[in-house]
A and B are shown apart, each in its own frame.
Chain A
Amino acid sequence: MATTTTGVAAGEALLRVEALALHYRTRQGAVRAVDGLTFDVKRGEALVVLGESGCGKSSLARALMRLHPRNLAHHGGRVWLGETLISELSDERFRREVQWSRLALVMQASMNALNPVVKVGEQVAEPLRELKRWPRRRALERAAEVFQRVGLPLDFMARYPFELSGGMRQRAVLAMALVAEPELVILDEPTSALDVLTQAAIMNVLKEIKRDQGTSFILITHDVATSSELADRVALMYAGELVETCSAERFFTAPAHPYSRMLMESVPRLHERRRPRAIAGQPPSLLDPPGGCRFAARCPARFARCAESPPAFVPETADGAGAGVEPGGEPGVGGEVSSEVRESRHRVRCWLHATGREETP
């Protein structure tokens, strides 16, 4: 596998991921849940990983955290965190040096992610005591700080998880992720089970933390509207692959990949008469994904070449017109966007953009 061509960005990139793969073993064969992902996250940046359910978003989080299920078939690719090539570390070194102290996770089912028989404060302080060998008192003081940081009353520290509401539990899990001051926090659907008000409150907490502490985030979600609150950049996944990676502004206004466009058209917006449109069809099975472009079967713009697997391209122009696609018809494709787009971090995995610079994966 070739290295990324993003030489400039690599200097400040906090996380660089190359050809990350995670396959599961099933009775019918290997499920290629994460199939060759390449992306990076800068320091202080929030990358939103979007995708419909079953496209491998959560598996991406698991692959990064090395939370392998029992039926793991294959785990590959290279991951750098800062200067460390963390994918080459032994499990024990990864656990001691990277897990939680540098890379933390807020799990999808974080409502149940707390041990039911241990007090919340103890659980939040636990990584410090276990990984950093801090004395109990100091760890609890630090836990109290993050409790305040995420807006939890301090007397909740002495409570058990079942005595907290769903939103409070979510905050406690967030506090747990932040307690060791990690450089990067992966949030896997952190607000999906919550009501909109609590969602907004938690997104605000995340924004504050990002602003004040420069923590990087990978926010994994299917919820386009909520994700736009935090996103600096967006990576869109489809059937185990990344189909488009670009700045949030570009993605939410004028995405390049046909799937991205259709996805954005399916999101209802305020002050707009146009009805949201659904994407017809089903994503392909990851058991035996089709050769060629995986979106081809649902794509209105497919042509002969889509039977071959497209590499990732760096599109040349802002609206993608130069690449032979009709403009997305979205307002707000301004001049400032085009300068952003020329930056080499916009990648589209689609033959429609084949006139652009090719990134050989």
Chain B
Amino acid sequence: MKPASAGRPVRPDLRRSRLRDLRHLLLYAAARLLALLATVVVGVYLTILVANMGGQVDELRLVQIRSEAVEAVRADPAFFDMPGEERSALVERQVALEVERLRLDQPFIVRSLDYLRRALSLDLGRAEQMHSDRGSREVRDIIVERLPATLLLFGSANLLVFFTAVFAALHLSRRYGSALDRTVIALAPSSAAPGWFYGIFLILFFAFLFPLLPAGGMVTAPPPESRLEYAASLARHMLLPVAAMFLSSIFVSIYSWRTFFLIHSSEDHVEMARAKGLSARRIERRYILRPTLAPIITSFLLMLIGLWSGAIILEQVFNWPGLGSLLFQAIGHRDTPVIIGGVVIFAYLLAATVFLLDFLYALLDPRVRVRGGRS
């Protein structure tokens, strides 16, 4: 009998079972979407509450508006000979106007819901204090201006760390207990220090003691004209921060991936594959990497969206114009629309990634795919 005939008795049901699978899939997707949406709403609303200190910021703002109005009226020569009562009436009118413009006369709870609605529809609004380098006060413009710098720096550093760590770890898990393995484990605590800590020393050594590389910034000022020179200058500026991030996370990443692969390479099916006489390469690909692909991809995607937040101190140390320092400035200025804008986009990215992962899992692991489907 040929194996081809094996599938035949199942054929008639195949169409119906496909349809049923599809219905399951849609129901599942809808449920997941609802759950994720609820998560995003809760997360963003909490951010709104926190960024406004539960309405406390309004009072600070009122004080600020009043003092600004008083100052403006007092400094204006047109009102010099105005009687005091009229002047204070004028101040009151201006304060009332400003309060109405910012809608501070409505209760905070009402406005917080309005913020939420606008945030969720990605209508990020205008910044209160900050503006982009081109002068735009649109939160969208401010964020978009900083995004490429962050993506470039953190993207290259994290991708480098991720792939180096995974492949080095695979290599080490095969040479468990070797001198190299023990060295890496011994070095893992070096990751207790954050990237900026290494950054300070790197700047000290390579920018001041041996002035080989620039101490900070993204490109030389003024920026080079030709595209090639611009790229070269960018690369030279990136070298130190990337090295700092690499140093601070590479050893612990290798260590944790190595342990992960060690655990999974002592699974019975890997042992069986070794007994079967399969080549080391095939065992690695098909028996270790393939069944563990789901967690690897999860950590990869979470790493990718983690890029969004940048790193506040590292960007400050290297004077890198990224999202981390933007967020830092926004908090300093109590510029809530910018803070909320950053968080909303991150929340959406996270939710989309988690949704994507659900489906990737089903593609990668038949145990997830078939559950509840065919019986």
Nearest A residue (CB) for B375: A163
Report the bound CA distance from A114 to B272 in whole Å: 8
B275 near A: Cβ within 8 Å? Answer: yes
Q: Mark A68-101, 1 if CB is under 8 A from B, else 0.
A: 0010000000000000000000000001101111
Which residues of chain B in 1-15 are interfacial with respect to chain A, using CB atoms and an 8 Å cutoff? 1-3, 5-7, 9-10
Q: Mark B259-302, 1 if CB is under 8 A from A, else 0.
A: 00000000111011111111100100011001100000000000
Residues of A within 8 A of B367 (CB): 116-117, 160, 162
Report the bound CA distance from A60 to B272 in whole Å: 16
Report the bound CA distance from A158 to B370 in whole Å: 13
Are the C-beta atoms of B275 and A67 separated by less than 8 Å? yes
Number of interface residues of A (CB under 8 A): 40
Are the C-beta atoms of A126 and B278 separated by less than 8 Å? yes
For the complex formed, measure the closest distance between the CB of A139 and the CB atoms of chain B, giving whole angstroms: 10
Are the C-beta atoms of B287 and A107 separated by less than 8 Å? no
Are the C-beta atoms of A67 and B287 separated by less than 8 Å? no
Report the bound CA distance from A98 to B274 in whole Å: 13
Nearest B residue (CB) for A61: B275
A352 near B: Cβ within 8 Å? Answer: no
The interface residues of chain A, by DSSP majority, are classed as helix
Report the bound CA distance from A95 to B367 in whole Å: 31
Number of interface residues of B (CB under 8 A): 32
Among B176, B267, B364, contact of A70 (Cβ-Cβ < 8 Å): B176
* Stretch from A7-15, A33-41, A140-148, A241-249 contacting the other chain: A140-148
Nearest A residue (CB) for B175: A70
Given contacts A112-B267, A130-B282, A163-B370, contact A154 B3 (CB under 8 A): yes
Report the bound CA distance from A114 to B275 in whole Å: 12
Which residues of chain A in 136-182 are interfacial with respect to chain B, using CB atoms and an 8 Å cutoff? 140-141, 143-144, 148, 154-155, 157-158, 160, 162-163, 173, 176
Report the bound CA distance from A113 to B267 in whole Å: 8
Residues of A within 8 A of B269 (CB): 112-116
Which residues of chain A in 271-302 are interfacial with respect to chain B, using CB atoms and an 8 Å cutoff? none
A118 near B: Cβ within 8 Å? Answer: yes
Among B9, B272, B277, B370, contact of A131 (Cβ-Cβ < 8 Å): B277
Report the bound CA distance from A105 to B268 in whole Å: 13
Report the bound CA distance from A283 to B171 in whole Å: 40
A196 near B: Cβ within 8 Å? Answer: no
Are the C-beta atoms of B9 and A155 separated by less than 8 Å? yes
Residues of A within 8 A of B135 (CB): none
B365 near A: Cβ within 8 Å? Answer: yes
Which residues of chain A in 299-347 are interfacial with respect to chain B, using CB atoms and an 8 Å cutoff? none
A-B contact pairs, 20 of them (CB 8 A): A67-B274, A95-B279, A104-B275, A107-B272, A110-B268, A110-B272, A112-B267, A112-B269, A113-B269, A114-B269, A116-B269, A116-B367, A118-B290, A121-B3, A154-B3, A155-B6, A155-B7, A157-B6, A160-B366, A173-B272
Interface residues of A (CB under 8 A from B): 65, 67, 70, 95-96, 98-101, 104-105, 107, 109-110, 112-118, 121, 126-127, 130-131, 140-141, 143-144, 148, 154-155, 157-158, 160, 162-163, 173, 176
| Extra pairs beyond A130-B279, A154-B5 (9, CB < 8 Å) | A112-B268, A115-B286, A116-B365, A121-B3, A130-B278, A141-B3, A144-B2, A158-B6, A162-B367
Give the 10 A-B residue pairs with the shortest CB-CB distance, closest first: A99-B277, A154-B6, A112-B268, A113-B272, A144-B3, A155-B6, A109-B268, A160-B366, A95-B277, A115-B269
